[in-house]
Amino acid sequence: MVETAAKSSRPHVAVLASPGLGHVVPLLEFAKRLVINHGVHVRFLVITTNEASAAQEKLLRSLPDGLDVVDLPPVDVSAVTRDDMPVITRLHAIVDESLKSSLKAVLIELCNPRALVIDLFCTQAFEICSQLSIPTYSFVTTSIHFFAFALYLPTLDREVQGEFFDLPEPIEIPGCPPVRPEDLLDQVRNRKIDEYNLFLLHISRLPLAAGIFLNPWENLELVPLRAIREHSFYLQIPTPPIYPIGPLIKQDETLSASDEECLAWLGKQPSDSVIFVAPGSGGTLTAEQVIEMAWGLEQSKQRFIWVVRMPSDASASATFFNVGSDVNDPQAYLPEGFLQRTHGMGMVVPSWAPQVEILRHSSTGGFLSHCGWNSSLESICHGVPMIAWPLYAEQKMNAAMLTEETRGGRKASNRIGKESDRTGRDREGSEVGDGE
């Protein structure tokens, strides 16, 4: 039974994130700030399925007073999802099943919160909240540059024939730096697939929001922020009021025994001497990439902490839905003897590491990152230079922005030959930047 909001005299709002730590983390941090800094009573609504990750469960254990986790009634999504589904297709199916079965009843039982804040992939909530006269705000968990592209995408869809990937010139976004076709997010590289149509559907609903919260801060992305506020294109959509409220990043982490061991090793290393290699909450490398990374780290003689996962040749986001829960024995896929030869020089961490604690540590000197927006903000805020190795979603756009606009990192060279970009095309290994 959901506790009613009437028991609290404080302003009461609800926050709803779609599955995946990249969405849950920033919305949870937003909820914490509302509670701690503004005295708001927040119900954090969790979509519960049989796919909840161990990392998410750990994240939701320790919360401040005034922030309550409310599990939406669990739904069985086995009939509408498959393990090999693209991330957004699977996300949409999970969220759709959950919200249509319970969101309205839960909001009524919570005595109709003053507002509901949702992420980009929970836009089914707009219709439900309209029926209850609850203002609904969007929290965009990406960069402002990507947000500007998202607002422009419905127009691009109407005006461009064929595939965006095949355009001969960079895509001109009103008032913003252009986007090269090769840097487009995976979901728009093939307009014939369901994932593209679902992504476009959610994007096209953004103007329905009462307002939009953005995770960057005013000075990080001045050009796209000014464009969204002042350019005639965005004014005529019309774009809802936007609020840059970042950086909303994790401030602390609940540490396990293995986390403590990792940080103890890090504490024995010289200042700025360790490179942190991590593929984000859902990122996975191919078997070949794992081998090449291992040989590169070993031969470099560089101190390192490397978060490793069971490789996947099928998907760069293979652990998106079960991060921290994957069965993972590095000896099964790393080069024979690698762990022994690098003992003392580096530390291999299966599946999940305390990223915030590692990035803020004085011994960490660099971050080889997938360029998810949460990780990018954490690296920027803690002053750790990045080597960008984007894997999926909008990470190529983030990498381009970070290396060319903010100068916060360098792109990693990819010398593994020809590989699939996992969108049905083949691409030659790119060699961009010097990888320093």
Given 12, 41, 92, 119, which residue is catalytic? 119
Q: How is residue 274 written in tokens?
A: 């360790």
Sheet holding 409-411, edge to edge: 346-350, 303-308, 274-278, 364-369, 386-388, 409-411
Q: What are phi and psi of 246, to 5 degrees?
A: -80, 180
390-391-397-401 Cα dihedral, nearest 10 degrees = -10
Check the CA dihedral 34-324-398-85 and report its sign.
Answer: negative
Helix 373-381 to helix 21-38 angle, to the nearest 10 degrees? 50
The CA distance from 341 to 334, in Å, is 12
Three-state DSSP class for residue 79: coil
Query: Rounded to whole angstroms, how far apart are CA atoms 368 and 302?
Result: 13
Phi, psi of 356 (to 5 degrees): -60, -45
User: Is the Cβ–Cβ distance between 267 and 363 less than 8 Å?
Assistant: yes
Contact 23, 119 (CB under 8 A): yes
**Reduced to 3 states, what is the DSSP secondary structure of residue 110?**
coil
Provide the token pair at 20: 């995946």
Which is the catalytic residue, given 12, 23, 41, 361?
Answer: 23
| Residues whose CB is less than 8 angstroms from the CB of residue 194 and which lie 6 or more positions away in sequence, other chains included | 86, 89
DSSP 64: -
Residue 23 catalytic? yes
Residue 119 among the catalytic residues: yes
Joined tokens for residue 366: 């660099």
DSSP assignments along 280-341, one per residue: TTT----HHHHHHHHHHHHHHT-EEEEEE----SS-TTTTTTTTTTS---GGGTSPTTHHHH
Residue pair 149/174 in contact (Cβ under 8 Å)? The answer is: no
Burial of residue 7 (number of CB atoms within 10 Å: 0-12, 13-18, 19+): exposed
In angstroms, rounded to a whole number, what is the distance separating the alpha carbons of residues 79 and 348? 37
* Cβ pair 128, 99 in contact under 8 A: yes
Alpha carbon 371 to its chain centroid, in Å, reads: 9
Q: What is the CA radius of gyration of the chain?
A: 21
**Catalytically active residues, by annotation:** 23, 119
